A and B are shown apart, each in its own frame.
Chain A
Amino acid sequence: DAKTTQPNSMESNEEEPVHLPCNHSTISGTDYIHWYRQLPSQGPEYVIHGLTSNVNNRMASLAIAEDRKSSTLILHRATLRDAAVYYCILSNTGNQFYFGTGTSLTVIP
């Protein structure tokens, strides 16, 4: 099964953009790329997902490399409430999710 690789931790200053990278070099043609985030003592929360094209929503943007072997989650202006663990996930045709260990984002006031 395809796996994802993310940095263990990142820091960002409040109100600055944040680029969270993810490598998924073994992605198959039908795998979707999902991003979720998890606050302490809560379940994961959906952020964004995509297949081939870049995607935007009210929370974030998702930039997908042309070869689909990597992607970047972009938070346009980090707030303190964005401090969380961010997971880059691949889903197969059965909609089964394969979580990695995620990136712990610290937002500095």
Chain B
Amino acid sequence: NAGVTQTPKFQVLKTGQSMTLQCAQDMNHNSMYWYRQDPGMGLRLIYYSASEGTTDKGEVPNGYNVSRLNKREFSLRLESAAPSQTSVYFCASSLLRGPGSNQPQHFGDGTRLSIL
């Protein structure tokens, strides 16, 4: 099973360029998430989508937009990339969103993004 698939795996951008990171899951999960991980740190939530048609901000949403295209796909867009957005980006999905909040999240292998 593919699980959570992220594309591309690596990308280098120049400051000011735009970019869309793609994420797809094949587990029929309802909720999807975008995180960023900076060197030596844990993951921080950027945006999430509790179900198809809804999106909400996480801890660090500034400079990003998201689209829940359908149940399978959740994309993250950088409209005008900045060096501070150099990071590894992870997409995740879970079967359900709260109130139980006991659902494991399944993560992709990440997109390594460098902005010069």
Interface residues of A (CB under 8 A from B): 30-32, 34, 41-46, 49, 51, 87, 91-102
Contact = CB atoms under 8 A, between A and B. Distances in A.
A105 to B, nearest CB: 15
10 contacts: A43-B92, A44-B92, A45-B107, A87-B42, A91-B102, A92-B98, A95-B98, A95-B101, A95-B103, A97-B45
Contact of A46 (B43, B104, B110): B104
B90 interface: yes
Interface residues of B, number: 32
A30 B98 CA distance: 10
Contacts of A97: 33, 43, 45, 105
- If over half of B's interface residues share one DSSP class (helix, strand or loop), that class is named, otherwise mixed; here it is loop
Contacts of B40: 101
Contacts of B102: 32, 49, 51, 91
Contacts of A91: 101-102
Contact of B99 (A34, A93, A96, A101): A93
Contact of A43 (B48, B99, B109): B109
Interface centre among A42, A43, A44 (most CB of B within 10 A): A43
B43 A44 contact: yes
B111 to A, nearest CB: 11
Nearest to A6: B42
B61 interface: no
Contacts of A87: 42-43
A99 B46 CA distance: 13
B94 A95 contact: yes
Interface string B59-95: 1000000000000000000000000000000101010
